[in-house]
Amino acid sequence: MIPRAILTAAEMKAAEDATMASGVSVDQLMERAGRAAADIAWRMAGKAHVLVLCGPGNNGGDGYVVARLLAERGCEVQVAALADPATDAARNARAQWPGPVDAIGDARPAPMVVDALFGTGLARPLGADLSAALCDLVRKARHSLAVDLPSGIETDSGALLSPVPFFDATIALGSLKPAHLLQPAAGFMGMTLVGEIGIAAESALLEIGRPTLVPPLPSAHKYSRGYVLVAGGAMAGAASLAADAAIRAGAGYVALAGPEHGEGPLALVQRLAVDPRTLADLLADERVDVAVAGPGLGLNDKAEARLESVLAAGKRLVLDADALTLIAKRGAETLAGLDAPPILTPHEGEFARLFGDISGNKVERAREAARRSGSVIIYKGNDSVVASPDGRAAIAPPAPSWLATAGTGDVLTGIAAARYAATGDPFEAACEAVWLHGAAARMAGPFLIADDLIEALPRALAACL
Ligand SMILES: NC(=O)C1=CN([C@@H]2O[C@H](COP(=O)(O)OP(=O)(O)OC[C@H]3O[C@@H](n4cnc5c(N)ncnc54)[C@H](OP(=O)(O)O)[C@@H]3O)[C@@H](O)[C@H]2O)[C@H](O)CC1
Ligand SMILES: [K+]
């Protein structure tokens, strides 16, 4: 699957300018944008009465186009505007709307509400009366559609600058923007669709899409599919989850090297009780493709020694949990000299411990962390961001909130290790792991526990063949 590009407000403006330089007018772009939004509104609500709220900029201009096209289809449409149009294109669009334009204060609740107040040009919070009116009108509607973005959302950070209602659907015009995927904004969009308006959207920031996997070649054997060694530690369960996830995610061979471990259901997982010295021996095995450290590792001297062995092994690494806490003490930049970029999987707390106060939005923070540490970062959350030291970055579609339970991070680590062993590309592997983890969670359903994710993994993987 070809991943969709994500453009910042400035990148969108530049892409729009480039399209116009090729001979397409802004009025034509607005007509396409309004038509794409009107088509969706029509499919959502048919001939229901429609209220279109228009702002002063080009987002409002899109709104006038929507109003005209829906009226042409026989809908009864009320247009309510915040102010007169401030751009030529919006003025032209308003001039083509044959009906009256009411003040926002006179907007009447309707079964279908289209929010065309502000899009990428929102510069500050909405006034309190305006955001209250927007929330009230959307709450009273049966269907609601936001044009480009719900009004009140900052395009690049996904922050809510003022209260925003929950929409049923949002049409992203020309391309996704970071706010369509970043929290908290993403939680207010409803179904997000991209409206094609003829703009070439290219970016180093992509949406994580379904990976394309290939079955093992006829010549494959267990080691050619990837050998993952998990260095366990004080807590047997966490390392066990990572190891089980790695083998379920397609690694051909997984060894779990921990001083303690529980009963294991999987015959292919070799369970070894080892001390740090023998861990180093295991790591010296040429067949080991990826080593994992962190889940259940512990924070004591033994854990330090085991981590040291893993870092010195010259292998591709996936580092999580306690390994991240231990690395934070010595500085994340100490990872920059490793033979291959490791994958780090910090949640918010671990990220802060590792990288302190990096400023900017989540994508900017992840990119800076990747640069400093020479690592691929999976900055976890409901809106996981993956960033590579080479500048590539990607945002995951919203993951089920049921993932907020113990052990799900260990499972992600195991999947990432299996994919890193298979692909050799830590960025691709990290993106694939995040997608598979989210898909497995959707398949496992509400009240999932980490073990359910592992059980669902073959189905998530099969969806990618
Ligand atoms: N992507 C494309 O190629 C196309 C996008 N289109 C649509 O255009 C908008 C972006 O339009 P733009 O005019 O740049 O911005 P907005 O319409 O979002 O808003 C700008 C105007 O709103 C004023 N403003 C900003 N914040 C507030 C606020 N909190 N309260 C009141 N007024 C506000 C701003 O005024 P200033 O005082 O800040 O100067 C502007 O007047 C994009 O989202 C798409 O919907 C086009 O259709 C073409 C193709
Ligand atoms: K809007």
Q: What are the tens digits of pLDDT across the range 159-169? A: 999 999 999 99
Residue ranges near ligand 2 (ion) with Cβ within 5 Å: 115, 146-147, 151
Residue 176 phi, psi (nearest 5): -65, 150
pLDDT of 44 above 50: yes
Q: Which of 173, 177, 202, 203 most suits a substitution to test ligand 1, by most atoms within 8 Å of the C-beta?
A: 173
Distance of CA 175 to the CA centre of its chain: 15
Measured in Å, residue 123 CA sits from the centre of ligand 1 at 8
119 carries a ligand binding annotation = yes
- Region of residue 98 (left: phi > 0; alpha: psi -120 to 50; beta: else): alpha
240 carries a ligand binding annotation = no
- Judge if ipTM > 0.90: yes
217 DSSP 8-state letter: P
> pLDDT digit string (tens) for 100-140?
999 999 999 999 999 999 999 998 999 999 999 999 999 99
Residue 333's contacts (CB-CB under 8 Å, 6 or more residues apart) are: 372, 373, 374
Measured in Å, residue 120 CA sits from the centre of ligand 1 at 6
Residues with CB under 6 A from ligand 1: 12, 16, 26, 29-30, 33, 55-62, 86-87, 118-126, 147-148, 173-174, 197, 199
Which helix (H) or strand (E) covers residue 58, if one does?
helix 58-72
Mean pLDDT of 220-230: 93
Residue 256 phi, psi (nearest 5): -110, 110
Contact, 421 vs 290, CB < 8 A? Answer: yes
Residue bearing the CA closest to ligand 1, atom 37: 123
122 carries a ligand binding annotation = yes
> pLDDT digit string (tens) for 284-306?
999 999 999 999 999 999 999 99
Sign for the CA dihedral angle at 172, 178, 184, 186 comes to positive
Q: Which ligand is nearest to the CA of 33?
A: 1
pTM: 0.94
Task: Report the percentage of the chain scoring pLDDT > 70.
Answer: 96
Measured in Å, residue 25 CA sits from the centre of ligand 2 at 21
Measured in Å, residue 58 CA sits from the centre of ligand 1 at 5
User: Can the peptide bond before residue 218 be classed as cis, meaning omega within 30 degrees of 0?
Assistant: no
238 carries a ligand binding annotation = yes
Q: Which domains does the chain have, with CATH numbers?
A: 9-205 (3.40.50.10260), 227-462 (3.40.1190.20)
Residue 316 DSSP SS3: strand
End-to-end CA gap in the chain: 11
pLDDT category at 264 given cuts 50, 70, 90 is: very low
The pLDDT of residue 1: 72
Q: Which ligand is nearest to the CA of 12?
A: 1
Residue 399's contacts (CB-CB under 8 Å, 6 or more residues apart) are: 382, 383, 384, 437, 438, 441
Measured in Å, residue 363 CA sits from the centre of ligand 1 at 23
Measured in Å, residue 122 CA sits from the centre of ligand 1 at 6
Contact, 437 vs 453, CB < 8 A? Answer: yes
Q: Which two tokens stand for residue 298?
A: 């512990």
> pLDDT digit string (tens) for 331-387?
999 999 899 999 999 999 999 999 998 999 999 999 999 999 999 999 999 999 999
Residue 378 phi, psi (nearest 5): -100, 100
pLDDT category at 237 given cuts 50, 70, 90 is: confident
Residue among 92, 152, 157 at smallest CA distance from 126: 152
The pLDDT of residue 274: 64
Residue bearing the CA closest to ligand 1, atom 31: 126
Q: How many helices (H) and strands (E) does the chain have?
A: 14, 17
451 carries a ligand binding annotation = no
Measured in Å, residue 9 CA sits from the centre of ligand 2 at 14
> pLDDT digit string (tens) for 366-380?
999 999 999 999 999
pLDDT of 258 above 80: no
Mean pLDDT of 65-87: 98
Residue 50's contacts (CB-CB under 8 Å, 6 or more residues apart) are: 41, 67, 70, 75, 76, 77, 78, 110, 111, 112, 113, 114
pLDDT category at 232 given cuts 50, 70, 90 is: confident
**DSSP letters of 251-294?**
-SEEEEE-SS------TTEEEE---HHHHHHHHT-TT--EEEE-
Q: Which ligand is nearest to the CA of 195?
A: 1
Q: Which of 8, 13, 122 most suits a substitution to test ligand 1, by most atoms within 8 Å of the C-beta?
A: 122
The pLDDT of residue 257: 87
